[in-house]
Amino acid sequence: MAIREVVKLPEPILRKQAHKVTDFGKDAQKLINDMIDTLHDEPGVGLAAPQVNVSLRWIVVEYPLDDSKENAKPKIFVVANPEITQISPETVKGIEGCLSVPNLFGEVERALEITVTGLNRQGKKQKIHAKGWLARIFQHEIDHLNGVLFVDRAEKLYQPEEVEEGSSV
């Protein structure tokens, strides 16, 4: 396991559609472990393989299943080839940032609830129902796999000093 460099804009890989995952062998497991280590080393809650310069449809997300509980233990989600299969009509605006777009935040409108299907790290089917911030994180990371960044969806962009203290990102 190793910490990988997180690539930053204008790195071209961030603007390309990532390739479908078909191999779940040793190299894939190393990549996943490296992505989790990198996520733990950075101030983030999600990471997509293109952010570590790998054009594959892998994401890792670490967030509590129930963020309404104080001190809720975070869960690590590992998803290959994730797809949003259900989306709620209700949306909510929130402030987002990105490890690949340092020193910039944006107000982004996202679906309040989604269902994500994909494969786990062993290649088995999985379905995840997410709402609130967890849904936002999944939408943000899946966008990365399609070459879309939060700045493309943001209604307003802010420098760090412009974001109110205490805002969640």
φ, ψ of residue 112 to 5 degrees: the values are: -70, -35
Give the Å distances, CA to CA, from 86 to 20, 69, 136. Answer: 20, 25, 14
Token couple for 100 = 């690949």
- DSSP class of residue 21 equals P
CA distance 88 to 146: 21
By the 8 A CB rule, do 99 and 47 touch? Answer: yes
Is 11 an annotated catalytic residue?
A: no
Catalytic residue among 83, 141, 161, 162: 141
- Would you please indicate which residues are annotated as catalytic (active-site) residues? 141
